[in-house]
Structure 1
Amino acid sequence: MLNQARFPDIFADSGTSPADAYASAARHSARVKRLKVVLPLAAGVIALVFAAVSFVRAFLPEELQLETATIENGKIVMQNPAISGRNRQDISYSMKAQRALQDIANPDIITLERIHAEMPVNETLIATVDATSGIYDRGANTLDMNAPFTISMNNGVNADFQSAYLDIDVGEMETKRPIAISMNGGSIIAQSLRMTDKGRIVTFEGMVRVNVEPSAIRKNAK
Protein backbone atom coordinates (compact mmCIF):
# COMPACT_ATOMS: atom_id res chain seq x y z
CA MET A 1 0.00 0.00 0.00
CA LEU A 2 2.80 2.42 0.90
CA ASN A 3 4.89 3.22 -2.17
CA GLN A 4 6.75 6.24 -0.82
CA ALA A 5 7.61 7.65 2.57
CA ARG A 6 9.23 11.03 2.88
CA PHE A 7 11.28 12.32 5.79
CA PRO A 8 12.58 15.79 4.79
CA ASP A 9 16.06 16.61 6.10
CA ILE A 10 16.36 13.77 8.60
CA PHE A 11 18.99 11.98 6.53
CA ALA A 12 21.14 15.06 5.89
CA ASP A 13 24.81 14.58 6.81
CA SER A 14 27.76 17.00 6.66
CA GLY A 15 30.74 14.61 7.20
CA THR A 16 33.38 14.67 4.47
CA SER A 17 36.22 12.38 5.61
CA PRO A 18 36.27 8.68 4.62
CA ALA A 19 35.61 7.70 8.23
CA ASP A 20 32.71 10.11 8.44
CA ALA A 21 31.37 8.90 5.11
CA TYR A 22 31.52 5.27 6.25
CA ALA A 23 29.82 6.11 9.53
CA SER A 24 27.18 8.08 7.67
CA ALA A 25 26.54 5.16 5.30
CA ALA A 26 26.26 2.77 8.23
CA ARG A 27 23.80 5.04 9.97
CA HIS A 28 21.79 5.39 6.78
CA SER A 29 21.71 1.60 6.32
CA ALA A 30 20.46 1.15 9.87
CA ARG A 31 17.79 3.78 9.29
CA VAL A 32 16.63 2.04 6.13
CA LYS A 33 16.36 -1.27 7.99
CA ARG A 34 14.31 0.41 10.70
CA LEU A 35 12.01 2.05 8.18
CA LYS A 36 11.44 -1.24 6.35
CA VAL A 37 10.10 -2.64 9.61
CA VAL A 38 8.06 0.32 10.82
CA LEU A 39 6.65 2.04 7.74
CA PRO A 40 4.41 -0.71 6.35
CA LEU A 41 2.72 -1.04 9.73
CA ALA A 42 2.52 2.72 10.21
CA ALA A 43 0.93 3.15 6.81
CA GLY A 44 -1.60 0.47 7.62
CA VAL A 45 -2.63 2.26 10.78
CA ILE A 46 -3.00 5.57 8.94
CA ALA A 47 -5.16 3.96 6.28
CA LEU A 48 -7.50 2.72 9.00
CA VAL A 49 -8.61 6.30 9.55
CA PHE A 50 -10.22 6.14 6.14
CA ALA A 51 -11.97 2.93 7.15
CA ALA A 52 -13.43 4.77 10.12
CA VAL A 53 -15.02 7.28 7.76
CA SER A 54 -17.27 4.60 6.30
CA PHE A 55 -18.74 4.20 9.76
CA VAL A 56 -19.29 7.94 10.11
CA ARG A 57 -21.07 8.01 6.77
CA ALA A 58 -23.37 5.28 8.06
CA PHE A 59 -24.68 7.73 10.65
CA LEU A 60 -27.67 8.74 8.56
CA PRO A 61 -30.97 9.40 10.33
CA GLU A 62 -32.76 6.41 8.76
CA GLU A 63 -29.96 4.07 9.85
CA LEU A 64 -29.61 5.17 13.46
CA GLN A 65 -30.83 3.55 16.62
CA LEU A 66 -31.73 6.47 18.90
CA GLU A 67 -32.68 6.82 22.52
CA THR A 68 -33.91 10.41 22.22
CA ALA A 69 -33.76 13.30 19.75
CA THR A 70 -34.34 16.98 20.50
CA ILE A 71 -33.78 20.34 18.81
CA GLU A 72 -31.25 22.68 20.39
CA ASN A 73 -29.82 25.91 18.96
CA GLY A 74 -30.89 25.10 15.43
CA LYS A 75 -29.58 21.53 15.50
CA ILE A 76 -31.18 18.12 15.78
CA VAL A 77 -29.50 16.50 18.78
CA MET A 78 -29.58 12.71 18.83
CA GLN A 79 -28.63 11.01 22.08
CA ASN A 80 -26.58 7.81 22.05
CA PRO A 81 -26.76 7.05 18.31
CA ALA A 82 -25.45 3.61 17.44
CA ILE A 83 -25.08 1.30 14.50
CA SER A 84 -23.93 -2.31 14.31
CA GLY A 85 -23.97 -5.26 11.98
CA ARG A 86 -21.81 -7.74 10.11
CA ASN A 87 -19.65 -7.27 7.06
CA ARG A 88 -19.45 -9.51 4.01
CA GLN A 89 -17.12 -11.85 5.87
CA ASP A 90 -19.73 -12.16 8.64
CA ILE A 91 -17.50 -10.29 11.12
CA SER A 92 -19.35 -7.99 13.48
CA TYR A 93 -18.75 -4.23 13.63
CA SER A 94 -20.19 -1.46 15.76
CA MET A 95 -20.06 2.28 16.23
CA LYS A 96 -21.67 4.50 18.81
CA ALA A 97 -21.47 8.09 19.95
CA GLN A 98 -22.62 10.04 22.96
CA ARG A 99 -24.37 12.57 20.72
CA ALA A 100 -24.90 13.33 17.05
CA LEU A 101 -25.77 16.89 16.06
CA GLN A 102 -27.25 17.64 12.64
CA ASP A 103 -27.51 21.24 11.50
CA ILE A 104 -31.08 22.03 10.43
CA ALA A 105 -29.96 24.79 8.07
CA ASN A 106 -27.25 22.58 6.57
CA PRO A 107 -28.22 18.93 7.13
CA ASP A 108 -25.05 17.70 5.42
CA ILE A 109 -23.04 18.77 8.48
CA ILE A 110 -23.08 16.12 11.20
CA THR A 111 -21.07 16.45 14.41
CA LEU A 112 -20.37 13.35 16.46
CA GLU A 113 -19.23 13.47 20.08
CA ARG A 114 -17.47 10.77 22.10
CA ILE A 115 -17.13 8.22 19.32
CA HIS A 116 -16.28 4.57 19.89
CA ALA A 117 -16.02 2.17 16.95
CA GLU A 118 -14.88 -1.39 16.51
CA MET A 119 -14.29 -2.54 12.96
CA PRO A 120 -12.74 -5.62 11.35
CA VAL A 121 -9.64 -5.20 9.22
CA ASN A 122 -9.63 -8.87 8.28
CA GLU A 123 -10.76 -12.15 9.80
CA THR A 124 -8.45 -11.86 12.81
CA LEU A 125 -7.52 -8.17 13.07
CA ILE A 126 -9.89 -5.75 14.80
CA ALA A 127 -9.37 -1.98 14.96
CA THR A 128 -10.84 0.16 17.72
CA VAL A 129 -11.31 3.90 17.25
CA ASP A 130 -11.93 6.28 20.15
CA ALA A 131 -12.44 9.94 19.29
CA THR A 132 -13.50 13.01 21.24
CA SER A 133 -15.37 14.49 18.29
CA GLY A 134 -15.57 14.62 14.51
CA ILE A 135 -17.40 16.79 11.97
CA TYR A 136 -18.55 15.04 8.83
CA ASP A 137 -19.63 17.00 5.74
CA ARG A 138 -21.72 14.66 3.59
CA GLY A 139 -21.83 17.14 0.72
CA ALA A 140 -18.07 17.63 0.49
CA ASN A 141 -17.34 14.11 1.77
CA THR A 142 -14.79 15.36 4.28
CA LEU A 143 -14.17 14.50 7.89
CA ASP A 144 -12.63 16.93 10.36
CA MET A 145 -11.32 15.05 13.38
CA ASN A 146 -10.89 18.24 15.35
CA ALA A 147 -9.93 16.69 18.68
CA PRO A 148 -7.61 13.91 19.88
CA PHE A 149 -8.38 10.36 18.79
CA THR A 150 -6.71 6.97 18.96
CA ILE A 151 -6.68 3.86 16.81
CA SER A 152 -5.67 0.57 18.40
CA MET A 153 -5.57 -2.93 17.00
CA ASN A 154 -5.58 -6.29 18.70
CA ASN A 155 -2.12 -7.07 17.30
CA GLY A 156 -0.48 -4.39 19.47
CA VAL A 157 -0.47 -1.48 17.01
CA ASN A 158 -1.58 1.88 18.42
CA ALA A 159 -1.78 5.35 16.88
CA ASP A 160 -2.41 8.61 18.72
CA PHE A 161 -3.53 11.68 16.77
CA GLN A 162 -4.24 15.17 18.10
CA SER A 163 -6.37 15.97 15.05
CA ALA A 164 -6.68 15.16 11.35
CA TYR A 165 -8.53 16.40 8.28
CA LEU A 166 -9.62 13.90 5.64
CA ASP A 167 -10.78 14.48 2.08
CA ILE A 168 -12.31 11.12 1.23
CA ASP A 169 -12.93 11.67 -2.48
CA VAL A 170 -9.40 12.95 -3.12
CA GLY A 171 -7.86 10.32 -0.86
CA GLU A 172 -5.87 12.68 1.32
CA MET A 173 -5.37 13.16 5.03
CA GLU A 174 -3.36 15.82 6.84
CA THR A 175 -2.53 16.72 10.38
CA LYS A 176 -0.26 19.54 11.50
CA ARG A 177 -0.18 18.35 15.07
CA PRO A 178 2.02 15.65 16.66
CA ILE A 179 1.33 11.98 16.02
CA ALA A 180 2.69 8.85 17.69
CA ILE A 181 2.45 5.34 16.31
CA SER A 182 3.66 2.35 18.31
CA MET A 183 3.71 -1.36 17.59
CA ASN A 184 5.41 -4.52 18.71
CA GLY A 185 9.06 -3.88 17.97
CA GLY A 186 9.05 -0.19 17.19
CA SER A 187 7.50 3.26 17.06
CA ILE A 188 7.42 6.42 14.97
CA ILE A 189 6.83 9.99 16.18
CA ALA A 190 6.44 13.14 14.08
CA GLN A 191 5.14 16.68 14.41
CA SER A 192 2.98 16.49 11.29
CA LEU A 193 1.81 14.05 8.64
CA ARG A 194 0.37 14.22 5.15
CA MET A 195 -1.07 11.26 3.29
CA THR A 196 -1.89 11.41 -0.42
CA ASP A 197 -3.02 9.00 -3.12
CA LYS A 198 -5.14 7.03 -0.63
CA GLY A 199 -2.18 6.09 1.52
CA ARG A 200 0.36 5.27 -1.17
CA ILE A 201 2.46 8.30 -0.23
CA VAL A 202 2.93 9.30 3.40
CA THR A 203 5.09 12.26 4.42
CA PHE A 204 6.25 12.62 8.02
CA GLU A 205 7.73 15.98 9.01
CA GLY A 206 9.10 17.74 12.05
CA MET A 207 11.48 16.03 14.50
CA VAL A 208 10.74 12.58 13.09
CA ARG A 209 11.90 9.78 15.38
CA VAL A 210 11.90 6.10 14.42
CA ASN A 211 12.70 3.48 17.05
CA VAL A 212 12.92 -0.24 16.32
CA GLU A 213 13.94 -3.07 18.61
CA PRO A 214 16.94 -5.06 17.28
CA SER A 215 14.91 -8.28 17.32
CA ALA A 216 12.44 -6.76 14.85
CA ILE A 217 15.25 -5.82 12.45
CA ARG A 218 16.74 -9.31 12.63
CA LYS A 219 13.34 -10.86 12.01
CA ASN A 220 12.73 -8.60 9.00
CA ALA A 221 16.15 -9.46 7.54
CA LYS A 222 15.41 -13.19 7.44
Structure 2
Amino acid sequence: MKFALPALALAMVALLAAWPSLTTPPRSRLAADKGQLEMIKPRYLSADEKNQPYSVVASRADQSANQPNIIELDQPEAEMTENDGSWVTIKSEKGWYNQDTGILKMRGSVHVLRDDGREFTTEEADTDVRKGTAWGDSPVVGQGPQGEINAQGFRMSDRGKTMIFLNQAKAGVQSNVQSSEPPGGKKR
Protein backbone atom coordinates (compact mmCIF):
# COMPACT_ATOMS: atom_id res chain seq x y z
CA MET A 1 0.00 0.00 0.00
CA LYS A 2 2.96 2.32 0.66
CA PHE A 3 3.82 2.28 -3.01
CA ALA A 4 0.49 1.58 -4.68
CA LEU A 5 -1.43 4.51 -3.22
CA PRO A 6 1.15 7.21 -4.16
CA ALA A 7 1.55 5.65 -7.63
CA LEU A 8 -2.22 5.76 -8.15
CA ALA A 9 -2.32 9.42 -7.04
CA LEU A 10 0.51 10.28 -9.44
CA ALA A 11 -1.29 8.52 -12.30
CA MET A 12 -4.48 10.53 -11.57
CA VAL A 13 -2.55 13.85 -11.64
CA ALA A 14 -0.88 12.87 -14.92
CA LEU A 15 -4.28 11.95 -16.43
CA LEU A 16 -5.75 15.33 -15.38
CA ALA A 17 -2.78 17.17 -16.94
CA ALA A 18 -3.03 15.21 -20.18
CA TRP A 19 -6.86 15.33 -20.41
CA PRO A 20 -7.13 18.43 -22.73
CA SER A 21 -4.81 16.91 -25.33
CA LEU A 22 -6.69 13.61 -25.23
CA THR A 23 -10.10 15.18 -25.87
CA THR A 24 -9.18 17.55 -28.76
CA PRO A 25 -8.55 16.10 -32.21
CA PRO A 26 -4.95 16.32 -33.45
CA ARG A 27 -4.12 19.23 -35.79
CA SER A 28 -2.46 18.62 -39.11
CA ARG A 29 1.09 19.92 -39.22
CA LEU A 30 1.34 19.62 -43.01
CA ALA A 31 0.00 22.25 -45.38
CA ALA A 32 -2.82 21.22 -47.63
CA ASP A 33 -1.82 20.15 -51.14
CA LYS A 34 -2.80 22.85 -53.62
CA GLY A 35 -2.44 20.59 -56.64
CA GLN A 36 1.16 21.62 -57.18
CA LEU A 37 4.11 19.30 -57.72
CA GLU A 38 7.45 20.31 -56.19
CA MET A 39 10.92 18.90 -56.65
CA ILE A 40 14.14 19.79 -54.82
CA LYS A 41 17.36 19.90 -56.90
CA PRO A 42 15.84 18.65 -60.17
CA ARG A 43 18.14 17.62 -63.06
CA TYR A 44 17.03 17.25 -66.66
CA LEU A 45 19.60 15.70 -69.01
CA SER A 46 19.08 15.09 -72.72
CA ALA A 47 20.69 15.38 -76.17
CA ASP A 48 19.71 17.15 -79.37
CA GLU A 49 19.32 15.64 -82.85
CA LYS A 50 23.14 15.72 -83.31
CA ASN A 51 23.57 13.81 -80.02
CA GLN A 52 25.02 16.92 -78.32
CA PRO A 53 24.16 16.93 -74.62
CA TYR A 54 22.30 19.65 -72.77
CA SER A 55 21.03 19.91 -69.21
CA VAL A 56 18.82 22.05 -67.02
CA VAL A 57 19.31 21.93 -63.25
CA ALA A 58 17.82 24.08 -60.48
CA SER A 59 17.67 24.31 -56.72
CA ARG A 60 13.89 23.82 -56.80
CA ALA A 61 11.09 23.25 -59.32
CA ASP A 62 7.34 23.78 -58.96
CA GLN A 63 4.70 22.61 -61.41
CA SER A 64 1.36 24.36 -61.13
CA ALA A 65 -1.92 22.52 -61.53
CA ASN A 66 -3.24 25.52 -63.52
CA GLN A 67 -0.43 25.40 -66.13
CA PRO A 68 1.01 21.86 -66.09
CA ASN A 69 3.32 22.53 -69.06
CA ILE A 70 5.16 25.38 -67.21
CA ILE A 71 7.77 24.54 -64.58
CA GLU A 72 8.88 27.38 -62.28
CA LEU A 73 12.56 27.08 -61.35
CA ASP A 74 14.67 28.64 -58.59
CA GLN A 75 18.29 29.27 -59.57
CA PRO A 76 18.11 27.50 -62.94
CA GLU A 77 21.28 26.63 -64.83
CA ALA A 78 21.25 25.47 -68.46
CA GLU A 79 24.36 23.94 -69.99
CA MET A 80 24.76 23.16 -73.68
CA THR A 81 27.78 21.12 -74.80
CA GLU A 82 29.19 20.40 -78.25
CA ASN A 83 30.53 16.97 -79.20
CA ASP A 84 34.06 18.48 -79.25
CA GLY A 85 33.68 19.39 -75.54
CA SER A 86 33.10 23.15 -75.86
CA TRP A 87 30.22 24.43 -73.73
CA VAL A 88 28.15 27.42 -72.66
CA THR A 89 26.33 27.81 -69.34
CA ILE A 90 23.48 30.21 -68.60
CA LYS A 91 22.33 30.82 -64.98
CA SER A 92 19.78 33.11 -63.35
CA GLU A 93 17.82 33.70 -60.17
CA LYS A 94 14.41 32.55 -61.54
CA GLY A 95 13.24 30.67 -64.57
CA TRP A 96 10.17 29.24 -66.27
CA TYR A 97 10.56 26.20 -68.49
CA ASN A 98 7.86 25.47 -71.05
CA GLN A 99 7.80 21.71 -71.62
CA ASP A 100 5.88 22.08 -74.90
CA THR A 101 8.25 24.55 -76.60
CA GLY A 102 11.53 23.78 -74.79
CA ILE A 103 12.01 27.51 -74.05
CA LEU A 104 13.54 28.45 -70.70
CA LYS A 105 12.74 32.06 -69.71
CA MET A 106 15.45 33.28 -67.32
CA ARG A 107 15.05 36.39 -65.20
CA GLY A 108 17.24 38.18 -62.63
CA SER A 109 21.04 38.36 -62.87
CA VAL A 110 21.33 36.19 -65.97
CA HIS A 111 24.96 35.13 -66.32
CA VAL A 112 26.29 33.58 -69.56
CA LEU A 113 29.71 31.87 -69.41
CA ARG A 114 31.56 30.15 -72.27
CA ASP A 115 34.39 27.66 -71.94
CA ASP A 116 36.86 30.13 -73.53
CA GLY A 117 36.46 32.62 -70.66
CA ARG A 118 34.01 34.99 -72.32
CA GLU A 119 31.12 35.97 -70.10
CA PHE A 120 28.35 38.53 -69.87
CA THR A 121 25.40 39.43 -67.67
CA THR A 122 21.93 40.75 -68.38
CA GLU A 123 18.60 40.82 -66.55
CA GLU A 124 16.52 38.74 -68.99
CA ALA A 125 17.22 35.98 -71.48
CA ASP A 126 15.27 33.27 -73.25
CA THR A 127 17.00 30.00 -74.07
CA ASP A 128 16.06 27.14 -76.37
CA VAL A 129 18.19 24.41 -74.83
CA ARG A 130 17.18 21.88 -77.50
CA LYS A 131 18.49 24.09 -80.33
CA GLY A 132 21.42 25.66 -78.43
CA THR A 133 20.23 29.24 -78.87
CA ALA A 134 19.56 32.16 -76.53
CA TRP A 135 18.41 35.76 -76.95
CA GLY A 136 17.53 38.83 -74.94
CA ASP A 137 16.70 42.50 -75.40
CA SER A 138 17.86 43.84 -72.01
CA PRO A 139 21.18 45.68 -71.53
CA VAL A 140 24.23 43.41 -71.67
CA VAL A 141 27.63 43.91 -70.02
CA GLY A 142 30.38 41.44 -70.86
CA GLN A 143 34.06 40.71 -70.89
CA GLY A 144 36.50 38.25 -72.33
CA PRO A 145 40.14 37.80 -73.25
CA GLN A 146 39.92 40.49 -75.96
CA GLY A 147 38.11 43.18 -73.93
CA GLU A 148 34.69 44.39 -72.83
CA ILE A 149 31.28 44.79 -74.47
CA ASN A 150 28.17 46.85 -73.65
CA ALA A 151 25.02 46.36 -75.72
CA GLN A 152 21.24 46.60 -75.61
CA GLY A 153 20.61 42.94 -76.39
CA PHE A 154 22.14 39.75 -77.76
CA ARG A 155 21.56 36.72 -79.94
CA MET A 156 23.45 33.47 -79.34
CA SER A 157 23.49 30.49 -81.70
CA ASP A 158 25.54 27.35 -82.28
CA ARG A 159 25.67 26.59 -78.53
CA GLY A 160 27.52 29.82 -77.80
CA LYS A 161 29.98 29.77 -80.71
CA THR A 162 28.22 32.69 -82.42
CA MET A 163 27.39 35.79 -80.34
CA ILE A 164 25.77 38.90 -81.81
CA PHE A 165 25.38 42.01 -79.64
CA LEU A 166 22.62 44.45 -80.63
CA ASN A 167 21.66 48.12 -80.68
CA GLN A 168 24.44 50.59 -80.01
CA ALA A 169 26.91 47.92 -78.94
CA LYS A 170 30.22 49.33 -77.68
CA ALA A 171 33.36 47.24 -77.41
CA GLY A 172 36.66 48.02 -75.73
CA VAL A 173 39.26 45.79 -77.38
CA GLN A 174 42.58 45.03 -75.75
CA SER A 175 45.64 44.29 -77.84
CA ASN A 176 47.35 40.97 -77.21
CA VAL A 177 50.62 42.20 -78.77
CA GLN A 178 53.22 43.11 -76.15
CA SER A 179 55.80 45.74 -77.02
CA SER A 180 59.46 45.21 -76.21
CA GLU A 181 59.67 48.89 -75.33
CA PRO A 182 58.61 49.86 -71.79
CA PRO A 183 55.87 52.48 -71.47
CA GLY A 184 57.14 56.04 -71.55
CA GLY A 185 60.51 55.49 -73.15
CA LYS A 186 63.08 53.38 -74.89
CA LYS A 187 64.45 50.11 -73.64
CA ARG A 188 67.90 50.49 -72.05
Q: TM-score, normalised by structure 1?
A: 0.49
How do 1:11-30 residues align onto structure 2 when only pairs under 5 Å count? none
1:190 aligns with 2:151: yes
Letter in 2 for 1:160: T
Q: Distance in 1 between matches of 2:67 and 2:75?
A: 22
Distance 1:81 1:195, change over 3 A: closer
In the alignment, which residue of structure 2 is the partner of 1:76?
37
Letter in 2 for 1:137: N
- Structure showing the higher helix proportion among its residues: 1
Secondary structure class of the residue paired with 2:113:
strand
In the alignment, which residue of structure 2 is the partner of 1:137?
98
1:134 shift after superposition: 1.2
In the alignment, which residue of structure 1 is the partner of 2:182?
none
In the alignment, which residue of structure 2 is the partner of 1:176?
137
How do 1:138-217 residues align onto structure 2 when only pairs under 5 Å count? 138-165=99-126, 174-193=135-154, 202=164, 204-206=166-168, 208-215=169-176
| Aligned residues of 1:151 and 1:160 also touching (Cα < 8 A) | yes
| Aligned residues of 2:147 and 2:173 also touching (Cα < 8 A) | yes
Letter in 2 for 1:215: N
| Aligned residues of 1:141 and 1:168 also touching (Cα < 8 A) | yes
Secondary structure class of the residue paired with 2:58:
strand
Secondary structure class of the residue paired with 2:71:
strand
Residues paired across the two proteins, number: 145
In the alignment, which residue of structure 2 is the partner of 1:104?
65
Q: Which digits, 9 at most, give the CA deviation of each residue in 1:38-78, with x for residues without a partner?
A: xxxxxxxxxxxxxxxxxxxxxxxxxxxxxxxx985442111
Q: Which has the higher contact order (CA 8 A, sep 6+)?
A: 1
Letter in 2 for 1:177: S
Structure number with greater Rg is 2
Question: Structure 1 residue runs of 4+, over 6 Å off?
Answer: 85-93, 198-201
Q: TM-score, normalised by structure 2?
A: 0.57
Supply the RMSD in Å over aligned alpha carbons.
Answer: 4.2
Q: Which digits, 9 at most, give the CA deviation of each residue in 1:127-180, with x for residues without a partner?
A: 3332212112233543321222212123211121210235789x9865332112
1:119 shift after superposition: 3.9
| Aligned residues of 1:71 and 1:77 also touching (Cα < 8 A) | no
Distance 1:176 1:71, change over 3 A: farther
Letter in 1 for 2:88: A
Distance 1:90 1:191, change over 3 A: closer
Q: Distance in 2 between matches of 1:127 and 1:83?
A: 16
The gaps in structure 1 that reach 5 residues or longer are: 1-69, 217-222
Distance 1:167 1:155, change over 3 A: closer
